[in-house]
Structure 1
């Protein structure tokens, strides 16, 4: 068993808060793995907000990046801490570790490739924390994401299924929960943490929301952040391939919920079709073909994902 060690960098404001024993209203928790979160940290550094920021380098092994992040943490106005891990723990374990460092009554999980959309983004979350909300998701957009041809497929898919308004998300509150912009009250997270049995990419946040929704209401608001980190078609396909085992874990634990999701229903419809090892790679080839129309590529990628998931239904 590998023992993961931590190296900590705290700024002056963090140490000052520790000396007074005061607790911030909000702890902003940001995991990163070989991504530079400088733009996000700069945008979050709002004066007069009762918040702290905790950044986790999840064993990325990039010494130059760690040095840049440490310098950014040290210059922040808000109390801030950098936690650098000796090796990678993964998405669920990393976020659980972040929560153990937090001192706030509410936790705000943000991905490192996000950028707040509205002015006063953190102040809005802090105000909602003051209202003692149990769980809330603020939504995400692509409003500030640069347009690049290699990201056309991911952009089209995200705009169709992920970039939705609060009323639309509220129809299936547990389905539209992502750790990219998620507020959780401390006692809620102490009761329901992320399942560390998930590995790789995908589904650990939705599965967490399935368990939470049985105990606490999930509120959806419009306090969005832009997702800057769109993937190429090849990278997106690789993530879906990683996520198949996680999807199987969700099916095993939450069949009554997930059976109503389109991803499950399509996977179930594809399962009986013969010669899956032959036509599944064809779907991937169409999705990766940049010469094909984007709507066709998006359809092929969704069917490819469902074909991967069909092994689990």
Structure 2
């Protein structure tokens, strides 16, 4: 009882000495407390429930959409092999592409080779320029210069694919025709167009990769007597290599899935490319040019869906490579 009396005395003293006179704590009794209101969920709690519900609904919708897209493309793409009995090995290795003539003329090897050739060449050409631009923006130029270059890169990203294709058709193709002869259409023209298209993607992600390198690494290198270029070469680039590889893979994924711009400059001839200036076709260019000319459910239509299934598989492979490189980089 003594402790309770002491506690009551302390409370009464605190109430008497309170600094806010209009708060009459000493007049609040047990009957004045609304227990029901205190125990029920508040307005903020209801808002939190709504927020979580909308978030989970959006995530569920995205999952359903992804599964539906994969399932739809998978069902139609596999119809070539299940319903039309086309041999998978023949489809991947044959260069004879004329599905209207029958299942023995469904070979996508030429388009597969061309797609990979264009993608790899575009990445090889664009990567040095992207890394150089990123190094200039992060290591040499001022903040205003970096901001200006970043605006230019973002502007390049926002240009529609058809504009790139039209510029390639009116400038690059005639130039190649004049210098090397032939029609001007082919892998070289597509590579140059894709080089400009993937450069902003690789450059932007490389800038982020270089900015993520801790400043302490650079300072330690300078403290040991290294020059600026030695620090960039031996420290900055090595630390940022996993992220730079991720940027290159993203650029390759963009190049591999590009359709309209490539279709306008590559020639759209389903032939195994003899050289860089011979007309050829990629998986995407064949899809965009021929899908509207086929009837749903027929062999030519199913064969095109099989090309789409190949593109989907390659997209998943690129995503897997990004995650794999990211995990190694985090270690």
Q: TM-score range by the shorter chain?
A: under 0.3
Q: TM-score, normalised by structure 1?
A: 0.23
Q: TM-score, normalised by structure 2?
A: 0.22
Larger-gyration structure (1/2): 2
More helix by share: 2
